[in-house]
Amino acid sequence: MSKPLVAIIMGSDSDWPVMRNAAQMLADFGVAYEARVVSAHRTPDLMFQFAESAAANGFQVIIAGAGGAAHLPGMVAAKTTLPVLGVPVPSKHLQGQDSLLSIVQMPKGIPVATFAIGDAGAANAGLFAVSVLANQDAALAQKLAEFRQKQAEKVHAMTLPEQP
């Protein structure tokens, strides 16, 4: 596999069942990624080191998932100008609403592109990363168009059971 263009980071290995949806999407499109655990509050030095070196390490997009007081995406975005896609991971007590608000409510100046809570958000973050990379990669853009086409065909083929 070629050098990873997308980094997928998450605050804990417990986030992986959600974040693997982003990884799966990238794998489906043949986009090389690297996934790892980086915690904002438990390994702050590692987080800074990762974010500061991400561009030099060849990453073009960072997908960051976290749950609860989910400061990982925002703090990483503060230390890199690479696009950061934030995925709110469902939390134990507030079902990810805390994660969502922590990620989406970035003050003006440091953006984090925020996705839906959970699996769909992670998958869409993967798709969004593909869109970003497809701007400079015609073959990838073609794959993305085909993906959309197949998705549309599935909907066209949908029928409803007998209606009253």
Site string for ligand RP5, 28-47 (x = CB under 6 A): -----------x--------
20 is in an annotated binding site: no
Nearer to ligand RP5 among residue 72 and residue 133 (C-beta): 72
Chosen residue from 6, 7, 9, 11 binding ligand RP5 by CB under 6 A = 11
Distance of CA 120 to the CA centre of its chain: 10
Cα dihedral sign, 43-22-127-122: negative
State the DSSP H helix or E strand holding residue 10, giving kind and residue range, or none if neither. Answer: strand 6-10
Among 15, 19, 106, 114, binds ligand RP5 (CB under 6 A): 15
Q: Which is nearer to ligand RP5, 14 or 53 (CB)?
A: 14
Contacts to ligand RP5 from residues 65-124, by CB under 6 A: 66-68, 89
Is 2 annotated in a binding site? The answer is no
Asked if residue 12 belongs to a known ligand binding site, the reply is yes
Q: Taking a C-beta distance cutoff of 8 angstroms, is the pair 134, 145 a contact?
A: no
Q: Please, are residues 100 and 106 in contact by the beta-carbon 8 Å criterion?
A: no
Distances (CA, A) of 18 to 13, 65, 67: 10, 9, 11
Return residues touching ligand RP5 (CB under 6 A): 10-12, 14-15, 39, 66-68, 89
